[in-house]
Amino acid sequence: MDMLLSALASDIASRIISFLVAKYQKQATTEKMIRLHQLLLRARTVIQEADCRYISNQGMLLQLRQLRKLVFESHHVLDTFKGQAQVSSQSFDLNRIQVTMESLESAIGGLKEFAVFLMDCPRILRQPYSTYLFMERCMFGRHMEKHHIVNFLMQPSGSSLLQVLPVVGPVEIGKRTLVEHVLEEETVQKKFSRVVRLKSDDLNNLQNDGAMKRHKLISPSERCIIVVELEHDADLVAWTRFHSWLSKMNIVSKVILISGLHKASRLGTTQALVLKRMHPDEFWYFFRTLCFGSENPDEHQVLLSIAMKIAPLMKGAFLCAHILSRLLRANLSAQYWRHILDLKIKGVKLHLEVFGEHSTDRIGKSRSYIVSNYIPDDHTVILCNSIHRRSLGWVDRGVPKIMVEDIINRSAAIPSEGEIEVLLWQSPIAPYYSYMGNCVIKKASHVVPKERCLKRKRWTMKA
């Protein structure tokens, strides 16, 4: 009997201690989350003020970049806990909040000199935007990269009349959008009287000096910016010819090369600006704001947790983030958001089964990818063979034209086979491109990657 009472007392004591520890940890976690939220408000105030000023000091830009990184990380930590039904009592989670909070607090504490210098930076006059409108119609992130290009354009030409800055990075990472926003800066427009834009076809059409003179692209008397897009290896040869002509004409210009080719980074007179994909925390903040728009995410905890599961499935793809966020924002139903999550999970699995890699990786390599598993029971898929940009929207190619949301929502009549053209997304910001997909409807079993076909062909030839 004594042993039974002793065991019972020990169990009760253990439960009480566990309850008190869990309660203490939960209270401590809540207090730290509140403190982290307060620090975020202070940090965002500094960032918003900095965004309204023209900063040329590289040290200040690096400090601002680090602060942004910590803000994105802090938002991710807060949203992780808000999206959970209960706050975890594990010390790992508590430590993560503690480390994030201390890092942000330290960064804010070191901004005294930054704030003093910031007040001396000239103010940029802009129309006021809410966060949602800013994200929809203005450029998200890339502030340091933008200042880098502006500084390049504003610097005196020096001994070299023709200066070249390559802007390189993966496919659809925002290179053109970044450059267009730089060109809209008032200081840039005041210094340069003209902007000349050249694409692959334009370069290849200028075969010789005579053709260049006939086109009268540039006058030696005017100060201009030349934006050149290099898409293929053949464009590098055309650029070399065009660069030689510019040098002989003694034209005072600044050239910005936009390319996804790594070779283009060696074509500049200054170090190339290399754009990389967003950090997961930064991408989450971007996707989160697009998904909820003017709604407060804190009032939609269930949706917030679903969105956090969708975000990593996109692997930092801007185009996919815009497409899905537009669908989610239009229907704030947990059932619909779970449906989109389920479709995305199945899409990732299907790509791994068919291609052995993620759709984002295939788009980055300019390879075909599956837009939708359109008829799951029949294993019919919509395969996108290529994505191209248009500034004029639809062009009649003699094939059906469908919007991507109609495919995902099953809200339009889609052919059972053949080619279709899909409007993936229309950008609301400069340069206002429409992203079109050349697609074909076929059985999943008939989708064989080109790279596998080539390997099979080589193996057959060897045999």
What's the CA gap between 415 and 400, in Å, rounded? Answer: 8
Burial of 216 (0-12, 13-18, 19+ CB in 10 A): exposed
Q: Is 141 left (phi over 0), alpha (psi -120 to 50) or beta?
A: left
* pLDDT confidence of residue 376: 56
Residue 94 and residue 33 in contact, taking contact as beta carbons nearer than 8 Å: no
DSSP codes joined into one string, 272-301: -EE--PPPHHHHHHHHHHHHHTTS-GGG-H
* Residue limits of CATH 3.40.50.300 in the chain: 143-274
Name which of 364, 252, 254, 365 is nearest 314 in CA terms: 364
Local confidence pLDDT in tens for the 463 residues of the chain: 566 556 655 666 566 555 555 555 566 677 888 889 899 999 989 988 888 888 888 889 889 989 999 999 999 988 887 766 444 444 446 788 888 999 999 999 999 889 999 998 888 765 444 444 445 555 566 788 888 999 899 888 766 678 999 999 988 788 888 898 888 888 888 888 888 888 877 887 775 555 555 456 666 667 889 999 998 888 888 898 888 888 877 776 899 999 989 899 999 999 999 998 888 998 999 899 899 988 888 889 899 999 999 999 999 888 899 999 999 999 999 999 999 999 999 999 989 988 899 999 998 888 899 988 765 556 688 999 998 887 765 555 556 678 898 888 888 888 888 899 999 988 777 667 788 899 999 877 777 665 554 444 443 334 3
What's the CA gap between 55 and 185, in Å, rounded? Answer: 13
Q: Does domain 16-125 have CATH number 3.30.590.10?
A: no
What's the CA gap between 7 and 351, in Å, rounded? Answer: 56
- Report pTM: 0.76
* pLDDT confidence of residue 202: 80
* pLDDT confidence of residue 87: 43
Running DSSP on this structure, what letter comes out for residue 308? H
* Residue limits of CATH 1.20.140.10 in the chain: 16-125
What's the CA gap between 93 and 78, in Å, rounded? Answer: 11
Element (H, E) at 459: helix 450-462
Running DSSP on this structure, what letter comes out for residue 384? E
Name which of 319, 296, 426, 332 is nearest 371 in CA terms: 319
* pLDDT confidence of residue 128: 42
Q: Three-state SS for 386? A: strand
Residue 420 and residue 401 in contact, taking contact as beta carbons nearer than 8 Å: yes
What is the C-alpha end-to-end distance of the chain, expressed in Å?
Answer: 83
Q: Does domain 143-274 have CATH number 3.30.360.10?
A: no
